Amino acid sequence: MSATTIVSLPDQATAQMPKRSYLNNEHGLLSWLLTADHKRIGMLYLLSITFFFFIGGAFAGLIRLELLTPQPDLVASDTYNKFFTMHGIVMIFLFLVPSVPATLGNFLLPIMIGAKDLAFPKINLLSWYLYMAGGIFTLASLVLGGVDTGWTFTTPLSTHYLNTHVLTTATAIFIAGFSSIFTGLNFIVTIHRMRAPGMTWFRMPLFCWSQYAASLLMVLGTPVLAIAIVLLALERLFGIGVFDPAKGGDPLLFQHLFWFYSHPAVYIMILPGMGVISEVISTFTRKRVFGYTAVAFSSVAIALFGFFVWAHHMFIMGVSNYSALVFSLLTMLVAVPSAIKIFNWAFTMQKGSITFETPMLYAFGFIGLFTIGGLTGIFLGSLGMDVHLTETYFVVAHFHFVMVGGMLMAFLAGIHFWWPKLTGRMYPESLSKLAAVVTFIGFNLTFLPQFVVGYLGMPRRYHAYPAEYQVLNVLSTAGATILGVGYMLPILYLGWSLKYGAIAGNNPWQATGLEWQIQSPPLTENFLETPIITHEAYDYEWLEEKMKLEKQEVTHVG
């Protein structure tokens, strides 16, 4: 199939705010706290994860400030250890894991497949309460004096040697885990059972495919984390000895259990972001995503392979040489679907008609940073290289390139892209472009030097370091300052736009997704009548036809 498409932006001037929408359907705090509307729950999540992001960010700032000088001079060592522990726990469990699925996924997934809501609206609300309970336990452990296990909870340090609030924090993560299990279940059932007539699997937007793959991981992986946490608590409370060599236990068992979840968890974090990128790139190139099927299947492939590479976190821990070989090989294989996606996105631009609005800039940021993050993952998957690099700042740089450079960029791309749909208003374009560029520059300045200092050998989680590493650390701290500005800007102008932003209209980007064919912000019931789908995802000809028809109707009526 090869055809031409012209799409032009609608007249913003005539767009009006709809009288009725999910936002003003009901009033009062309770109507939000007891809502079963997936859109309102998505907004609740958006507020709460933003709150936790800034808590996590504050700790990042403190970490970087301490590392400005080689001496351990800003805070005591225990305090520093609590900083990076809190930073990791908040960012991973309370920001990254729920980020795209619980906010944009919640809001958009039902609409994209033409459903009125998720399969289990009340369980969806329960998920949010569980998330908040997890958050409150985390804050409690912070207020009570903190915890210094690191987000990896390594035994026997966490079970026998620390007297901080390990159990409170473990409870937090245990509870928050159920929040993501329920979200995952809800998504899986919704995608299987609630698609509108005509919405076949291969007509779904790629965003839905990536949410589906991530949901599989959440449902299958998170229970293992729960088990690991329960065993950890029993070991700490009663000394049952599963991880204690003196009692015949195996100290490596905890590592296996923990990474069996936490490795797939990195794909829980990145897959939904990849879904966002597919939507954004298609929309701003006005083109179908190149090789739709390959991109869809690569999400599923990542989810499947993702379960069989966990021991690549343990190459120097004395796993047998042969299992190290197998896990290294599988790690190489899991990198391939990501490479496929990158090239498919790049080639989606070929022969497109490209514009460069803010979401597209963030998507470019994603592609660049995720490419570096992914390729440096190959360094770490390569056995002999990993020996030198593991547990150093090289690893810190690698996962920040993937998680912050990749996922956070994708999250911001998605937030800007769907902001008109979420709120009915546009964000200010030039300010947001500035923020995207500032973020990109700040990010690289923060984390590129960490690759170098990591190869020099600087270990992660170090409160003090040899003086010869200072230059690189100062660069990194300077970059973090710029990055901080890049993250503050969206908060300010997005807040501003809630009241003063231009009215968006239904489809400001001329995008093809079902969510763009309904009013912004949507009605509580999403669709007045169940849509019947007769076209594929990213079908810009269908969109053009539809718009022609609508124009005729308008002129007719007028």
Partner 1 sequence: MGISPVLWQFLVNWLHSSALFPTEASTIAPYTDALYFFLIGMTIFGVVLVGALVTVFSLKYRREKHPVAVQIEGSTLLEATWTIIPLAIFLVTFVWGALLYFRIYNPPANSMNIYVVGKQWMWKAEHPGGQHEINALHIPIGQPVQLTMISQDVFHSFSIPDFRVKREVIPGRYTTVWFQATQTGKFHIFCTQYCGTLHSGMIGEVTAMTPADYQKWLSESTSGMSLAQNGERLFASLGCIQCHSGNAASRGPNLAGVYGSKLTLTNGQQVTVNDAYLRDAILNPSEHVTAGFSPIMPTYQGQVSEDGLIDLVEYIKNMQSNYRVHQTLMTSDSDKAAPTTPTTGTTQER
Identity of the residue, 232 or 408, whose beta carbon is nearer to ligand HEM in the bound complex: 408
Residue 141 token pair = 């452990």
308 binds partner 1 (CB under 8 A): no
Q: Which does 403 bind (CB under 5 to 8 A by kind): partner 1, ligand HEM, none?
A: ligand HEM
Binding to partner 1, residues 67-106 (CB under 8 A): 72, 77-78, 81
Does position 452 bind ligand HEM by CB under 6 A? no
Round to whole Å and give the CA distance between 59 and 65.
10
Q: Which of 342, 409, 415, 480 binds partner 1 (CB under 8 A)?
A: 342
> Among residue numbers 406 through 445, which ones bind ligand HEM (CB under 6 A)?
408
Q: Does residue number 278 form part of the binding site for partner 1 (CB under 8 A)? A: no
The residue assigned the tokens 């001037």 is 13
Decide if 114 contacts 527 (C-beta within 8 A). yes
60 forms part of the interface with ligand HEM (CB under 6 A): yes
Backbone angles phi, psi at 392, to 5 degrees: -115, 180
**CA nearest 177: which of 223, 126, 125, 135?**
223
**Number of C-alpha atoms within 13 angstroms, CB side, residue 137?**
21
Footprint of ligand HEM on 378-407 (CB under 6 A): 396, 400, 403-404
Query: Scanning residues 469 to 498, which ones bind ligand HEM (CB under 6 A)?
Result: 480, 483
Pick one of ligand HEM, partner 1, none as the site partner of residue 22 (Cβ within 5 to 8 A by kind): none
Q: Which amino acid is at 310?
A: W
The Cα–Cα gap between 528 and 130 comes to: 32
Residue type, 14: T
Among residues 68, 51, 58, the alpha carbon closest in space to that of 446 is found at 68
Site string for partner 1, 435-454 (x = CB under 8 A): -----------------x--
Residue 1 near partner 1 by CB under 8 A = yes
* Residue 84 binding ligand HEM, by CB under 6 A: yes
Q: Does 16 engage in binding with partner 1 (CB under 8 A)?
A: no
Angle at 53 between CA 206 and CA 364, to 5 degrees: 40
Looking at residue 288, the DSSP 8-state letter turns out to be P
Question: x/- string (CB under 8 A) for partner 1, residues 137-176?
Answer: -----------x-x-x-x-xx--xxx--------------
Helix (H, G, I), strand (E, B) or coil at 503: strand
SS3 of 343, please? helix
Which has the closest alpha carbon to 506: 111, 55, 165?
A: 111
Pick one of 257, 397, 472, 504: the residue that binds partner 1 (CB under 8 A). Answer: 472
Q: Where are the alpha helices (DSSP H) in 239-291?
A: 251-285
Binding partner of residue 245 among ligand HEM, partner 1, none, CB cut-off 5 to 8 Å per kind: partner 1
Q: Is 481 in the site for partner 1 (CB under 8 A)?
A: no
Q: Per the omega criterion (within 30 degrees of 0), is the bond before 428 cis?
A: no
Q: Does residue 39 touch ligand HEM according to CB under 6 A? A: no
Q: Is 327 left (phi over 0), alpha (psi -120 to 50) or beta?
A: alpha
Q: Within 13 Å of residue 324, how many CA atoms lie on the same side as its CB? A: 17
Residue of 41, 62, 63, 270 that binds ligand HEM (CB under 6 A): 63
Which of residues 73, 429, 468, 553 is near partner 1 by CB under 8 A?
468
Does 369 sit near ligand HEM (CB under 6 A)? no
* 361 touches partner 1 by CB under 8 A: no
Interacting residues toward ligand HEM by CB under 6 A: 57, 60, 63-64, 84, 87-88, 91-92, 95-96, 150-152, 396, 400, 403-404, 408, 446, 460-461, 480, 483
